[in-house]
Amino acid sequence: MTAARSLQRMIHVGCKQLGLDADTRRDLQLVATGKASMADMSEVELQKVVEALKKRGFKTGFKPGSKGRCPAAPRGDLRYAHVLWRILGEAEAIRVPGRDGLNAFIRARFEGHWSFVPIDIDALRDPDQISDVTRALKDMCRRAGIPT
């Protein structure tokens, strides 16, 4: 496989990780390189797109299958959101426990309120958005009678 093809694959993985659709990907590519199509880009330009994805939160070293667990969230406030979701799951206050359930909750709850909702909570970087998630989870705990 050529280096250019590897970079194209990495871009597709990054877009999937961040929840970007094809149109958004092309817009990002256009801003980063002036070209909308990866087929027209050089390796240097493809690398610029990868760097633009990293600035949005793409993690290239993310390996969900390693040791049966995902790596710990990069920020303490994100780890707290994971803990609150786990507590809600243990109390059977939610239908889908685990990381997939938390990500689905965030998409369902905040998709209309935020301009961009990542596919995974650990890609969040905006403190206000993280605070929104934590506040919503604390409210769910309170309604379920779970102390936080």
For the chain, the farthest-separated pair of C-alpha atoms sits apart, in whole angstroms, at: 57
SS (H, E, C) 44-107: HHHHHHHHHHHHCCCCCCCCCCHHHCCCCCCCHHHHHHHHHHHHHHHCCCCCCCCHHHHHHHHH
Q: What is the pLDDT along the chain (148 residues), one digit of tens a residue?
A: 678 888 888 898 888 888 888 888 999 999 999 999 999 999 999 999 999 998 888 887 645 444 445 566 667 788 899 999 999 999 899 988 888 899 999 999 998 888 878 778 888 888 899 999 999 999 999 999 988 7
Residue showing tokens 């050529």: 2
Kind and range of the H or E element at 26? helix 22-33
Segment 11-21, tens digit of pLDDT: 988 888 888 88
Tell whether pTM > 0.75.
no
The pair of structure tokens assigned to 105 is: 């909750």
Provide the residue ranges of all domains of the chain, joining segments of one domain with +. 3-55, 71-143
For residues 88 and 147, the answer to whether their CB atoms sit within 8 Å is no
